[in-house]
Amino acid sequence: MPIAAAALETHPRFFFAFRQGARLLLEIYDADPLLAGLFSSQQRWLMSHAAFALACSRDPEDPSSGLYAARFISLVVEKQVASKNTAADFIQEILANGFVRVVAGHEDRRRKPLQATELPDRAMSQWLELHLAGLDGIDGGTRVETYRSDPGLQYRLQPKIAERILVERSVRTQGPAFDLFTWANFGGLILDLLIAEVNPGIEGAGFANDRLPAGRLSLTETARRFTISRTHVVRLFGKAAELGDIGWSGRRGESDIWISRRLLQQYWRYQAAKHALVDEAFEAVVNGGSA
């Protein structure tokens, strides 16, 4: 049976699982910033999953299947992920950056089926394995072992996950501070950066505190790391501070930072919902659970 989100929300080890996941995602970004930028905000993350799922669904016998611009745009507009223009720009971006290519022999002017190239294929595999490993760490399961033993599992599993992610409200919104970060340009990665440094003590004993230390974070270095303007970072942190979810032990931007327990709880609920959806999809694909 898949692990329910409610069980993850109350499991003391789950924090350490998703904190490790945040650290690994940052490592992926540092290794290939252009590629990892596809996951830099909630909107781009959702569009990336939608595009990959459509690419996985291609049936050579069905010319209307798979990923092509019009189908992608229609899907993300229907699911209220992005506007038509934003979706169209995203397709042009991933084409220009070589993350997708036109399927050989199908260079039709009206419809150009697209397929993921090796780089996003590998990144999605890392994302899947990261989440499966987090789940294994909770119940001692063998999801990662199963995943690694079946090369085709990625292409059956990811579309099932995307189906759930695109309609599940709890992975799209959790509260003002969470939404502020995750829907901002590179805000999702900045939030991961904060969570990666939270240290509540042994088995979460420090979660009783309203302010959780998250190390020293330079706004200038953060902007440089993610190749965004310092003004954008300052504005983002300023809004979070107004909400009472970010603060400094001393001078702003020059001392240890803290995040509110409320912000951590919002992030925690999001991670619980997301991991539960991954596990539900894994169960459906691998063990024949309900689709």
pLDDT along the chain (291 residues), means of 10: 93 91 89 82 93 90 83 96 96 93 71 87 92 94 96 95 94 92 93 90 60 89 92 95 92 84 94 96 85 48
Q: What is the tens place of the pLDDT at every residue in 61-111? A: 777 788 999 999 999 999 999 999 999 999 999 999 999 998 876 556 567
Angle, helices 187-197 vs 230-243, to 10°: value is: 60
Question: For residue 35, what pLDDT is reported?
Answer: 79
CA 268/CA 249 separation, integer angstroms: 24
Residues ≥6 apart with Cβ < 8 Å to 135: 3, 17, 141, 143, 275, 278, 279, 282
DSSP H or E segment with residue 51: helix 42-56
Question: For residue 208, what pLDDT is reported?
Answer: 65
In order, the DSSP letters of 174-199 are --HHHHHHHTSTTHHHHHHHHHHH--
Question: For residue 112, what pLDDT is reported?
Answer: 82
For the whole model, what pTM was predicted?
A: 0.91
